[in-house]
Structure 1
Amino acid sequence: MTTPENETYSAQDAPEFAAAQFVRWFRDVAPYVHDFRGKTFVVAFGGELVRDGVLNALIQDLSLLSALGVKLILVHGSRPQVNEQLRLKGYDMQFGRGTEPTSAPALECAKEAAGEIRLDIEAAFSQGLPNTPMSHAKIRVISGNFVTARPVGVIDGIDYQHTGAVRKIDVEAMKAVINQGAIVLLSPLGFSPTGEAFNLAMEDLATSVAIALRAEKLIFLTQDRLIKDPAGNTITELAREIADRLLAEHELDEDTRAFLSHASRAVKRGVARAHLLPYTLDGSVLLEIFTHDGVGTMVVEDALDDLRPAEVDDIGAIVQLIEPLEADGTLVPRGRAVIERDVERFTVLEHDGVIYGCVAVIPYLEDGMAEMACLIVHPEWQGEGEGEMLLRHAEMRARAMGARRLFVLTTRTSHWFIKRGFVRGSVSDLPKERQLTYNRSRNSLIFIKRL
Structure 2
Amino acid sequence: MSLVFPHTFVPWFRSVAPYIHAHRGKTFVVAIAGELIAAGKLATFAQDLAIIHATGIKLVLIHGFRPQVEEQLTAKGHASRFSHGMRVTDAVALDCAQEAAGQLRYEIEAAFSQGLPNTPMAHSQIRLLSGNFITARPVGIVDGVDFQHTGFVRRIDAMSVRRAIDFGSIVLMSPFGFSPTGEAFNLSMEDVATSTAIALQADKLIFVTEVRGVPMDPSQANDPECEIDQELALADAEKLLGALPNPVQPTDTAFYLQHAVKAAKNGVDRVHIIPYSVDGSILMELFTHDGVGTMIVDEKLESLREATPDDIGGILQLIEPFERDGTLVKRSRTEIERDVGHYTVIEHDGIIFGCAALYPYPEAKTAEMAALTVSPEVQGQGDGERILKRVEQRARAMGLDSIFVLTTRTMHWFIKRGFQQVDPDWLPEARKRKYNWDRRSKVLVKRLG
Q: CA deviation at 1:137?
A: 1.2
Contact 1:127–1:134 under 8 Å retained in 2: no
Question: Which whole-Å deviations, capped at 9, do the CAs of 1:178-234 have from their partners, x for residues lacking one?
Answer: 001100001010011111110001111101101111111110111224223359322
In the TM superposition, 1:137-216 aligns within 5 A as 137-216=124-203
Aligned-pair distance for 1:276? 0.8
CA 251–232 in structure 1, closer or farther in 2 if over 3 Å, else same? farther
From 300, 320, 324, give the equivalent of 2:297: 300
Partners of 1:110 and 1:258 lie apart in 2 by: 21
Note if 1:245 corresponds to 2:242.
no
| Contact map agreement 2:232 2:300 (CA 8 A) in 1 | no
SS class of match (2:211): coil
Report the counterpart of residue 287 of structure 1 in structure 2.
Answer: 284
Letter aligned with residue 208 of structure 1: S
Alpha-carbon distance change, 46 to 97 in structure 1, aligned in 2, over 3 angstroms? farther
The alignment status of 1:278 with 2:278, answered yes or no, reads no
Contact 2:33 2:210 in 1 (8 A): no
- Structure 1 CA distance for aligned equivalents of residues 298 and 421 of structure 2: 36
Q: TM-score, normalised by structure 2?
A: 0.68
In structure 2, which of residues 255, 260, 274 is the aligned counterpart of residue 263 of structure 1?
260
- Cα distance, 1:104 vs. partner? 1.0
Residues 143, 9 of structure 1: alpha-carbon distance in 2 compared, 3 angstrom cutoff: same
Cα distance, 1:87 vs structure 2: 0.8
What are the Cα deviations for residues 39-93 of structure 1, in whole angstroms up to 9, with x where unaligned?
0001101111110111111110000111111000011110111111011111122
Could you tell me which residue of structure 2 aligns to residue 326 of structure 1? none
Residues 90, 252 of structure 1: alpha-carbon distance in 2 compared, 3 angstrom cutoff: closer
- What corresponds to 1:117 in structure 2? 104
Counterpart Cα distance in 2 of 1:145 and 1:440: 74
Seen in structure 2, the aligned counterparts of structure 1 residues 96 and 22 have a Cα distance that, compared at 3 Å, is: farther
Q: How much has 1:152 moved relative to structure 2?
A: 1.1
The match for 1:354 is none
CA distance in 2, matches of 1:226, 1:302: 18
| Offset, 1:163 | 0.5
Change (3 A) 1:124 1:425: farther
Counterpart check, 1:233 vs 2:227: yes
> How much does 1:100 deviate?
3.0
Q: CA offsets per residue over residues 392-430 of structure 1, 9 Å max, x none?
A: 9xxxxxxxxxx931221459x9xxxxxxxxxx9945324
Unpaired segments ≥5 residues, structure 1 = 1-7, 308-320, 323-385, 393-402, 414-423, 447-451
Cα displacement (A) at 1:159: 1.6
Q: Matched residues in 2 for 1:299 and 1:25: separation?
A: 26
- Paired position in structure 1 for 2:49: 62
Q: Distance in 1 between matches of 2:197 and 2:10?
A: 34
Question: What letter corresponds to residue 244 of structure 1 in structure 2?
Answer: E
1:338 matched residue in structure 2: none
- Residue 433 of structure 1 and its aligned partner are, at CA, apart by 3.6
Out of 418, 423, 427, the position equivalent to 1:434 is 418
State yes or no: 1:134 paired with 2:134. Answer: no
The 2-side partners of 1:268 and 1:193 are apart by 28
Task: Provide structure 2 residue ranges, at least 5 long, that are not aligned to the other structure.
Answer: 218-224, 307-345, 353-379, 395-407, 436-442, 445-449
> Which of these residues, 59, 74, 77, is aligned with residue 87 of structure 1?
74
Identity %: 50
Matched, 1:406 2:390: no
Deviation at 1:387, TM superposition (A): 7.6
- In 1, the alpha carbon distance for the partners of 2:290 and 2:14 equals 17
Provide TM-score, normalisation by structure 1: 0.67
Structure 1 window deviating more from structure 2 (247-256 vs 144-153): it is 247-256
Q: 2:88 aligns with which of 81, 96, 101?
A: 101
Cα distance in 1 for partners of 2:81, 2:36 equals: 18
| CA distance 1:244–1:391, change in 2 (3 Å) | farther
Shift of the alpha carbon at 1:252? 9.3
Is the contact between residue 82 and residue 109 of structure 1 (CA under 8 Å) also seen in structure 2? yes
Cα pair 2:105 2:174 within 8 Å, conserved: yes
